[in-house]
């Protein structure tokens, strides 16, 4: 029997009472919860890895299971730094309030609802869970229904570690998500598409819950030719094809200075041939498949739309022979800027390439688009990089790398406007799940 509305209401009721106990838990108690979670994740690491590969076929990790390893890393950082994070920030009083002690104390928000995504289904459920528990909250956790095998194992992990008064996990589809959104929770953390993000934000508004939205968007890369083109092509290849392109901060499209276009295309082709092909074709066991038929059809329709509107498909654009959810590595040149491949998030192994000559023209094009989650710049010209940063807005920026601002927890990760709101990772995640409470004490 699946989750019912009664189950959801019961768990919310339990957590509504228990959140005051969780809020006043000690740092040592919170750390013990995280240690137990870490231990269970390691115990079930092989099961979780197998479930992820079943849901989203991909090359197995050559070493430790990737998502479990990353999740344990987030726990380790939290265990190491939590004592510092929870410490009140004491400040000097203003001249007009002599004899006072002003401070900011981070208190738990309360009952937090976390929606995990399907593209990185373990890490992106566990990472916000760790932050929420570190801040002293209770959690209603909803793994994604598009990865049912992973959701099932995650549910077993959570139930083995936590009393449902502290963490309750719910499998199921949209009906379960809707039931959870109907509860007057204190905070919602959602990772997913901008379309569903709007639904979550509207639901949160009914209860005036605070919201963190980790969304996607069309993350552009810019190549001006001053940075080594082979390195630029390698990084863009990794950024486009990691997880089959199904990453919220994937390189979505590229702007290349026109005088280095041919050289860049040569280097990018060489990278694709060396890393994604085998025996003259795509090796199905070496790349991540698309999640389902709907998304496969959607990605192919983006290519078809661009082709029908005069864009040049330089390579790929078709299904890999004998595969249902594997699209060839695709390069599209000069798609109209109002075509679907240039206006919709791709989330697949398709790379549109545009050219530019003048920096002002490039910035004008970029400012006309919604603010992306990430901006990638491949340039050794500091003046050019500064001009791009000054002339654009994005959730984060990586220069001459790929995804480094995601991997570095010290800087925080998140979007802006249509690409999201709020920040996660490290102390940023702890603060996202906390209320920074102003306290002024008179002596």
Percent of the chain with pLDDT over 70: 99
Q: Return the SS3 of 132.
A: helix
Q: Which of 214, 267, 345, 432 is catalytic?
A: 214
Report the CATH number of the 5-215+419-442 domain.
3.40.605.10
pLDDT at 64 over 90: no
pLDDT at 408 over 80: yes
Inter-residue contact 195 to 32 (CB < 8 Å): no
Q: Report how far residue 176's alpha carbon sits from residue 17's, in angstroms, rounded to the nearest whole number.
A: 22
Quick one: average pLDDT of 51-57? 93
Q: Report how far residue 85's alpha carbon sits from residue 107's, in angstroms, rounded to the nearest whole number.
A: 11
Buried b (16+ CB within 10 A) or exposed e, 39-56: ebbbebbebbbebbbebb
Q: Report how far residue 130's alpha carbon sits from residue 409's, in angstroms, rounded to the nearest whole number.
A: 14
Pairing mode of beta strands 374-378, 396-399: parallel
Q: Where in the chain is the domain with CATH 3.40.605.10?
A: 5-215+419-442
Quick one: average pLDDT of 428-441? 97
pLDDT at 280 (0 to 100): 81
Which residues are paired to 90 by β-bridges?
103
Q: Report how far residue 121's alpha carbon sits from residue 314's, in angstroms, rounded to the nearest whole number.
A: 33
Q: Where in the chain is the domain with CATH 3.40.309.10?
A: 220-407
Q: Report how far residue 304's alpha carbon sits from residue 317's, in angstroms, rounded to the nearest whole number.
A: 8
Q: Return the SS3 of 412.
A: coil
- Helices then strands, counting H and E runs in the chain, come out as 16, 18
Confidence of residue 124 (pLDDT cuts 50, 70, 90): very high
Phi, psi of 312 (to 5 degrees): -95, 120
Q: Which of 72, 219, 248, 424 is catalytic?
A: 248
Q: For the segment 78-105, what is each residue's pLDDT rounded down to a tens digit? A: 999 999 999 999 999 999 999 999 999 9
Token couple for 364: 């004008």
The yes-or-no answer on residue 248 being catalytic is yes
Inter-residue contact 362 to 256 (CB < 8 Å): no
Lowest mean pLDDT among 39-53, 57-71, 146-160, 338-352: 57-71
Which residues are paired to 351 by β-bridges?
331
Q: For the segment 213-232, what is each residue's pLDDT rounded down to a tens digit? A: 999 889 999 999 999 999 99
Please report how many Cα atoms fall inside a 13 Å half-sphere around the Cα of residue 169, on the Cβ side: 22
pLDDT at 1 over 60: no
Q: For the segment 262-291, what is each residue's pLDDT rounded down to a tens digit? A: 999 999 999 999 999 988 889 888 889 999
Q: For the segment 131-167, what is each residue's pLDDT rounded down to a tens digit? A: 999 999 999 999 999 999 999 999 999 999 999 999 9
Q: What is the mean pLDDT of the chain?
A: 95
Q: Report how far residue 42's alpha carbon sits from residue 370's, in angstroms, rounded to the nearest whole number.
A: 40
Gyration radius of the chain over CA positions: 23
pLDDT at 65 over 90: no
Q: For the segment 311-331, what is each residue's pLDDT rounded down to a tens digit? A: 999 999 999 988 989 999 999
> What is the per-residue DSSP string for 89-115?
EE-PPPTTSTTEEEEEEEEE-SEEEEE
Confidence of residue 439 (pLDDT cuts 50, 70, 90): very high
Inter-residue contact 246 to 209 (CB < 8 Å): no
Q: For the segment 351-406, what is each residue's pLDDT rounded down to a tens digit? A: 999 999 999 999 999 999 999 999 999 999 999 999 999 999 999 999 999 988 88
Q: Report how far residue 332's alpha carbon sits from residue 306's, in angstroms, rounded to the nearest whole number.
A: 8
- Return the CATH number of 220-407, one of 3.40.50.10800, 3.40.50.1360, 3.40.309.10, 1.10.1670.10: 3.40.309.10
pLDDT at 29 over 90: yes
Token couple for 144: 């994604």
Q: Output the pTM of the full model.
A: 0.95
Token couple for 208: 């005036």
Confidence of residue 197 (pLDDT cuts 50, 70, 90): very high
């Amino acid at each position: 029997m699946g989750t019912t509305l009664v189950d959801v209401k019961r768990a919310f009721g339990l957590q509504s009472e228990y959140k005051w106990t969780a809020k006043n838990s000690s740092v040592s108690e919170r750390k013990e919860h995280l240690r137990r979670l870490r231990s269970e994740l390691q115990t079930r690491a092989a099961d979780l890895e197998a479930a992820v590969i079943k849901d989203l076929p991909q090359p197995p990790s050559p070493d430790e299971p990737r998502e479990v390893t990353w999740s344990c890393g987030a726990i380790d950082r939290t265990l190491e730094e939590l004592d510092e994070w929870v410490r009140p920030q004491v400040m000097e009083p203003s001249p007009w309030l002599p004899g006072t002690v002003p401070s900011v104390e981070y208190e738990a928000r309360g009952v937090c609802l976390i929606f995990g995504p399907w593209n990185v289904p373990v890490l992106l459920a566990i990472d916000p869970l760790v932050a929420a528990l570190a801040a002293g909250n209770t959690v209603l956790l909803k793994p994604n229904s598009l990865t049912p095998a992973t959701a099932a194992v995650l549910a077993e992990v959570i139930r083995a570690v936590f009393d449902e008064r502290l963490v309750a996990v719910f499998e199921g589809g949209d009906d379960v998500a809707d039931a959870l959104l109907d509860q007057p929770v204190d905070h919602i953390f959602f990772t997913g598409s901008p379309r569903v993000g709007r639904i979550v934000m509207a639901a949160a508004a009914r209860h005036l819950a605070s919201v963190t939205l980790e969304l996607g968007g069309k993350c552009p890369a810019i190549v001006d030719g001053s940075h080594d083109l082979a390195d630029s092509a390698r990084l863009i290849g990794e950024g486009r094809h990691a997880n089959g392109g199904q990453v919220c901060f994937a390189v979505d499209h590229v702007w290349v200075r026109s005088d280095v276009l041919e050289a860049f295309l040569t280097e990018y082709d060489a990278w694709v041939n060396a890393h994604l092909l085998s025996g003259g074709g795509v090796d199905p066991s070496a790349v991540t498949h698309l999640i389902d038929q709907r998304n496969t059809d959607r990605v192919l329709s983006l290519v078809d739309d661009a082709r029908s509107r005069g864009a040049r498909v330089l390579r790929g654009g078709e299904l890999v022979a004998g595969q249902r959810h594997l699209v060839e590595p695709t390069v599209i040149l000069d798609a109209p800027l109002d075509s679907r491949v240039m206006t919709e998030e791709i989330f697949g192994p398709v790379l549109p390439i545009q050219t530019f000559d003048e920096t002002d023209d490039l910035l004008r094009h970029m400012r006309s688009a919604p603010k992306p989650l990430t901006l990638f710049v491949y340039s050794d010209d500091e003046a050019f990089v500064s001009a791009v940063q000054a002339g654009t807005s994005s959730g984060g920026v990586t220069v001459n790398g790929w995804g480094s601002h995601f991997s570095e927890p010290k800087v925080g990760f998140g979007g802006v406007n249509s690409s999201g709101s709020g920040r996660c990772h490290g102390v940023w995640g702890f603060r996202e799940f906390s209320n920074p409470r102003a306290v002024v004490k008179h002596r």
